[in-house]
Amino acid sequence: MAYRENTHLSQEVRDILLADVVLIIAFSLTLSGGIFNLLSRGTFTDFFTLYLPISAVAVTLSFILHEMMHKLVAQHYGAIAGFRTSYTGLLITILTGAAGFLLGIPGATMIYVNSFTRKENGIVSLAGPLTNFVVFGAALLLLVILNPPQYSFTDYALSFTLFISIYLAFFNMLPIYPLDGSKVLAWDIRVYVLTMAVILGLVWYFSIIPLSVVLYMVLIAIFFSMFYRMVL
């Protein structure tokens, strides 16, 4: 039994690290304007010294902590849970990043349970976006305390972490199955409305996500929903 558990754990670690690396590269390519823009301008120094490190900080904190909190809360309710990559999703993620836009669908935390109440399912789903709130708050606090020079690496890294954390929170709270928002909404509409109100309030107050990106995320969510039903 111990051997099987260790085998499953090592597979999960490999899966989530692979997904994290692919997302980091894809986000870096997107920030560079895509592979063709990168090649034509020859801005490889910025890609390796700025975009990759910034994405590594922001994506790792926002993505891995989000997925791990889903797992921990699911296990609290007696479920078996673990992150699993989708190789098709990884390919879509890296190809779209190379094209200069991003469909980030590298995988998901899979939960196996005999019986989950609607409330338990809603709480497990809410755990991920709430973790992004914590990451957002920590990055904002560090920005205020450190007050780094504008355009410095620290300023870029913390600012991008703000963007990615609230981006993931908003995207996952869209009420489209299988995203977290659909399960939170099915559990308690008041919790859903309050959570989305906080997210939208942060987006508006800090001018983090333009309307065009919001609409783009909705389209991604619809695509992800269809992709999930067919592949994951």
What is the number of alpha carbons within 13 Å of residue 70 lying toward its C-beta? 26
pLDDT band of residue 1 (cuts 50, 70, 90) is very low
- Predicted pLDDT of residue 231: 57
> Who wins on pLDDT, 10 or 162?
162
Task: Tell me what the mean pLDDT of segment 104-127 comes to.
Answer: 91
pLDDT band of residue 85 (cuts 50, 70, 90) is very high
> Who wins on pLDDT, 41 or 8?
41
Give the pTM.
Answer: 0.88
- Predicted pLDDT of residue 2: 43
Percent of the chain whose predicted confidence (pLDDT) is above 70: 94
The CA angle 27-28-34, to the nearest 5 degrees, is: 90
Q: For the chain, how many structural domains are there in total?
A: 1
Task: Note the pLDDT tens digit of each residue in 188-206.
Answer: 999 999 999 999 899 888 8
Is the pLDDT at 125 greater than 60, yes or no? yes
Whole-angstrom distance, CA of residue 196 vs CA of residue 202: 10
pLDDT band of residue 71 (cuts 50, 70, 90) is very high
> Who wins on pLDDT, 232 or 67?
67
Is the pLDDT at 154 greater than 90, yes or no? yes
Contact in structure between 66 and 168 (CB atoms under 8 Å): yes
Contact in structure between 70 and 81 (CB atoms under 8 Å): yes
Whole-angstrom distance, CA of residue 211 vs CA of residue 66: 24
Contact in structure between 32 and 43 (CB atoms under 8 Å): yes
Is the pLDDT at 187 greater than 70, yes or no? yes
Could you list the residue range(s) of the whole structural domain that residue 153 is in?
A: 2-230
Mean pLDDT for the chain?
A: 88
Q: Which residues carry out catalysis?
A: 67
- The helix (run of H) or strand (run of E) holding residue 111 is strand 107-112
- Predicted pLDDT of residue 45: 84
